[in-house]
Amino acid sequence: MPLDPRDKLFHRIGERSDELVELARELIRIPTVNPPGDAYTPCAELIGRRLARRGFAVTYERGLGAPGDNERYPRTNVIARKAGQGPGPCVHFNSHIDVVAAGLGWTVDPFAGEVREGRLYGRGASDMKGGLAASIVALEAILDEGIRFPGFLEISGTVDEESGGYGGVGYLAERGYFSRPRVDHVIIPEPLNVDRVCIGHRGVWWAKIETHGRMAHGSMPFLGNCAVRHMGAVLERIEQSLIPRLAQKHTRMPVVPEGAKRSSININSVHGGLGEDFEGLPSPLVPDSCRMVIDRRYLIEEDPEEVRREIVDILETLKGERAGFSYSLSEVLHFLPTLTDADAPVVRAVSAEIERVLGRPATQVVSPGTYDQKHVVRTGHLKSCIAYGPGILDLAHQPDEYVLIEDMVSSAKVMAGAALRLLGAAP
């Protein structure tokens, strides 16, 4: 009976855990904080140089003209491609290299990559430099084992996922990098926990509502028209009628955590009257403008048009009820929900390898928030796309973010095994 190519491959990956940790530390030490989009180029070049040494063809694509792109903060993406022996499919691992700001509350240096008790700490350890490092070591191990495979292996490090991905996967998807015939399967090592396959995400609709009023002297508010009071009425309707209604909307999508199986709205910000930087004594004015940003997350069962209409209905009703009420509504951002078929080859391959490596069945989940899968699916028209990585979902964007070293090693095995399976190089 021929040996399963995974046996030696997994052993090799296990032996390389120190190298895997070292690579993840190197990545964490480059503070690719977004905004503003710092240090993207050195980070992309670290990945590019390393993979070029292993025979990958490396391309850099700058997201020219994308939001935030300029000479100081170029949106540098890296794509590395390695051909196998003969024609075949392409399996692509895509990681975003940007991280959110460290913020307060850390007990370790967020950009040092400290290792303590089996954990690697740092901003981006879970989201998602630990996953990026695991995918690199996984593919290097395949090459070093000399395993023959048809088709192509690809790895990309892309920017701006945390701000919508327009300069990263969105930009590349528009240029064919995430479409057939170039690519067939995409695995995104986002932090969804080492034993879970993430098949999609909820939809997101951000909108800005402004209520308009008329200025007057604060001692005679009856002569003006208070925009903040109007916004108060909008908030009350959201509180009294919309939020309870959204809580009734349940999805069949396996969204985690449990609370995100419902539709939701977050009041992102409200600003009215005096500027935010106000200090000292206020001037006696009735505010003529109040602005609110809402963050609506919705389910695959919901009609995107209905999501918008719920807000318009509230505003139109108030217009009929409140004297002097007028408003404007503008869309800030909109991404449709995505859901990969549970039977897609990439879902089956990763699930099978999770079970093989961890000895327990994989769970299918859907992410409460959006990530770059939307660009792959909607713009690249590629359906075989999932997220799978070693990071811990709940730690993303938190102080003292870490990833378990054991999980990085396990996920590298899962990624390597899944790649071989998808390429047809292993049963």
Where do contacts with Zn ion occur on this chain (CB under 5 A)? 127-128, 190
Smaller CB separation from Zn ion, 127 or 302: 127
> Closest distance between Zn ion and the C-beta of residue 371, in Å?
6
DSSP 162: G
CA dist 77 and 62 (Å) reads 6
> Closest distance between Zn ion and the C-beta of residue 127, in Å?
4
CA dist 129 and 98 (Å) reads 9
For residue 284, what are the β-bridge partners?
none
Smaller CB separation from Zn ion, 196 or 421: 196
Smaller CB separation from Zn ion, 43 or 426: 43
Smaller CB separation from Zn ion, 184 or 407: 407
Smaller CB separation from Zn ion, 160 or 190: 190
> Closest distance between Zn ion and the C-beta of residue 282, in Å?
41
> Closest distance between Zn ion and the C-beta of residue 109, in Å?
21
> Closest distance between Zn ion and the C-beta of residue 195, in Å?
18
Smaller CB separation from Zn ion, 113 or 131: 131
For residue 58, what are the β-bridge partners?
80
The β-bridge relationship of strands 196-201 and 363-367 is parallel
Smaller CB separation from Zn ion, 128 or 242: 128
For residue 289, what are the β-bridge partners?
212
130-144 vs 17-28: helix crossing angle, rounded to 10: 140
3-state secondary structure of 275: coil
CA dist 116 and 107 (Å) reads 12
CA dist 324 and 225 (Å) reads 7
> Closest distance between Zn ion and the C-beta of residue 189, in Å?
9
Q: Which residue is nearest to Zn ion (CB)?
A: 127
Q: Which of 387, 379, 398 is nearest to 168 (CA)?
A: 379
> Closest distance between Zn ion and the C-beta of residue 38, in Å?
16
**Residue 294 CA: distances (Å) to CA of 34, 118, 233:** 21, 40, 15
> Closest distance between Zn ion and the C-beta of residue 389, in Å?
9
Smaller CB separation from Zn ion, 162 or 288: 162
Note every long-range contact of 230-233, with CB atoms under 8 Å and residues 24 or more positions apart, other chains counting: 230/290, 230/318, 230/322, 230/324, 230/325, 230/327, 231/270, 231/272, 231/290, 231/292, 233/318, 233/322, 233/325
